[in-house]
Structures are given as structure tokens and as C-alpha cells.
Chain A
């Protein structure tokens, strides 16, 4: 189904430089080349599990205050996150490893978001998913586990659900002025940057120790 997405396009355009910058991050370039040591990828997947867990808690908070017509979609998104976490555990996510610094910062970010009104949260929920997946989708990787993640997020899978979330975000933006989102979005971009930087450091460390 096609939805109007004019508002979200305006938001993306307003933040285009930072939003699109992650695709060029050296860690993603390494992923494209298949140049990330397996041990580093294991650690990255573990951190992805911790991110999913934080995201799920944020989504459940959102669902608890959502209007009735939004709830089924949010519940589907939560279910998808739970399935991804189960899959990451099957793939060997190692929970004896602590959440890294960006994950701890994400925890504070999600906690601080709780004070925002529901329409703002809807847009930031959508943006948090997209900032990550837009960058990851640019990777055509030979790694099987990454390919499996990308398939989960493909247009005929979770991507279809995210498409519906885009419609909610677009609707929410009808009552939110774009500058009101500058501060939380800039914080999100900083977090995403430090998250990819940390992944790169893990890859470099793994290389040095091999």
C-alpha cells in the first residue's frame, strides 16, 4: 500500500548530510569488502542484541501510550525485535560480554526520550530504525549472518511493517515542527556514529590480535 510520505521526506532532507553519512563509514566499507574478522562480527552481533533489547523496551513504552489504532502495528514490531533477538542468541550472541559504551549511551537516550510527547516519539522510533537500516542496506555482503539480517529487514519482511511505521511517522509530523526534532535527532546521529566507530575499533582489535 502506498502512503503519503511528504513530511518524513522533508525531515530526511533536513538532516540528509548526517543521515546519509553512515553508509560511507569505514566499518560498512569493510563489511562490503568482507574485511571484518569473524570475532569482531560476533562482538558486533552481541551489541546488536543489546540494542534490540533497548529498542524493544522503548517500543513497549510507546505501545502502552499509543492510541488503539497504532497498537497492532507496534506489537508486530515488538514481535519482530523479539524474533531477531532469539535469532541473534541462536547465532551465538555472547551475553557474558557487557554492553559497550554506545549501548549504554543509547540506554540514556531512550530513557530521556520518555519525557517527549507521543507524536515526537513515533517519529524518533521510525528514525532510529531507518538511520540504522538505511546504512546497513547499502552493504552487499558475502557474510551469511549479515545477509540473514538484511533478508529479515527486506521489503517483503520486516520492511513491509516499517513501511506502515513510516505512515505513522508521516501522520505524527503533521503536529510536530521539524526543528523540535533537531536536538534528539542530532543525538541519535552522534550515537550512531559512535556505534559504528566502536564496531570499527572491534574489527581493528581483532585484526591486531590475530
Chain B
């Protein structure tokens, strides 16, 4: 664990675990339509993440490349799976999804340590989300199996291993607001997906 990060007050992070979407995912009460709506947004987010991941790999020192390349392969495989099971026609692109994706393009201007720290933080929270999830459908179970797997846990640990030595180069005054902004968009997407998943 990276203590300086964990000791940084992040009210938005607390908001994440208390969010009704996360609560429902963790208690097996996430409506199937909400899950679908979330995954459809995932189609767009995954595309943005892949471009961001490729950018990071271009910037990375030699010792970081292998972990980032494996993560890139993982994201591309996820994109194939999402494409196979979900269609943009099922739900519209949410405004927060669009903002979230646009922010990734802006993140490419950041110094590498900060950009990598954000990458780690987002992947780690996504992985934790799935690790604590109670899947209620075959499609959810697939993602749960994948993201709660030892393989991905080990990849996240390796990613953390890249961030730890350069954490002192990350400016918390830049890191915290950006993370908050990303999480705000993420929570906006969850709220809308829950709304779309509610019985009519």
C-alpha cells in the first residue's frame, strides 16, 4: 500500500464505496439493465483507456514497459469482449462518459509519474469494485472472474510496484483534483445507469 496516497483525504473516494451503484453491485442487487447500461458506457471508456495506456507505454522507461504492455493486452481483450456482448445501440452515450473520455486525452499532457499514478488508481478501484461484487448474471460473472482473478490482482500489484518508487514525484495538488474529477464522472455514469436500470 502507498501510505502517502492512503493518508490523503479524499472525500470523493469515500463517496465511491457509499454510492448506491457500488452498494448494489456488492450485494447482488444491481439490476441487469443497469449493468448493461454501465457496460455500454464501458465500450467508450475502454477505447479512451486503451489510447491512454498506449500513450503511457510510449512515455514509459524500459523497466515499466512489460507491465504496461500486459495491461494494454488485457484492456484490448476486454474491449473485444464488450464489443461481443454489448452494443452502443442498447444505450446512448452519457454526457459524463463523454466528459470522462475527453479528460483522458487531456491527461496525456501530464508528467509521466502523475499520469501513471492516476492510471494505477483507476485500475485499482475498478479491480476492487469487481472483487467485492456479487455477480447475478453470466455476463457479470465473466467480468468478476476476470477482474477478481489472481492474474489481474498480480498485474495490479506490479502496477503498484511501478508507482511506489516514483510516488514522491507526484504532486498531490495536481493528483487529488484530477482523481476527484474522474471519480465524479464515474459516479455520474453509475447514477445514470442505475436510473436507466430502474423498472419503468
> Within 8 Å of chain B (Cβ to Cβ): is A64?
yes
Instruction: With A68-B79, A85-B65 as known contacts, state yes or no: A75 contacts B73, CB within 8 Å.
Output: yes
The answer, among B47, B51, B57, B80, for a CB contact under 8 Å with A78, is B57
Residues of B contacting A83 in the complex (Cβ-Cβ under 8 angstroms): 66
B72 and A68 contacting across the interface, CB-CB below 8 Å? no
B62 and A75 contacting across the interface, CB-CB below 8 Å? no
- Residues of A contacting B: mostly: helix
**What class of interface size applies to chain B in its complex with A?**
20 to 34
B79 and A82 contacting across the interface, CB-CB below 8 Å? no
> Within 8 Å of chain B (Cβ to Cβ): is A181?
no
Residues of B contacting A57 in the complex (Cβ-Cβ under 8 angstroms): 58
List CB contacts (< 8 Å) of B48-79 with chain A. 50-51, 54-55, 57-58, 62, 65-66, 69-70, 72-73, 75-77, 79
Q: Report Cα–Cα, A72/B58, bound state, in Å.
A: 17
> Within 8 Å of chain A (Cβ to Cβ): is B145?
no
Closest chain-B Cβ to A86's Cβ sits at a distance in Å of 6
Instruction: With A82-B65, A82-B66 as known contacts, state yes or no: A72 contacts B73, CB within 8 Å.
Output: yes
> Within 8 Å of chain B (Cβ to Cβ): is A144?
no
Q: Report Cα–Cα, A64/B51, bound state, in Å.
A: 5
The answer, among B47, B65, B72, for a CB contact under 8 Å with A75, is B72
Residues of B contacting A69 in the complex (Cβ-Cβ under 8 angstroms): 80, 83
Residues of A contacting B51 in the complex (Cβ-Cβ under 8 angstroms): 64
Chain A, Cβ-Cβ closest to B71: A75
Chain B, Cβ-Cβ closest to A74: B76
Residues of A contacting B55 in the complex (Cβ-Cβ under 8 angstroms): 60, 64
List CB contacts (< 8 Å) of A91-143 with chain B. none
Closest chain-A Cβ to B38's Cβ sits at a distance in Å of 19
Q: Report Cα–Cα, A86/B80, bound state, in Å.
A: 28
9 tightest Cβ-Cβ pairs between the two chains A and B: A72-B76, A75-B76, A79-B69, A71-B76, A60-B54, A82-B69, A75-B73, A82-B65, A75-B72
Which residues of A line the B interface, CB within 8 A? 56-57, 60-61, 63-64, 68-69, 71-72, 74-76, 78-79, 82-83, 85-86, 89
Q: A71-B50, A78-B69, A79-B69 are in contact. List 4 more A-B contacts (CB 8 A).
A: A61-B54, A75-B72, A75-B76, A78-B72
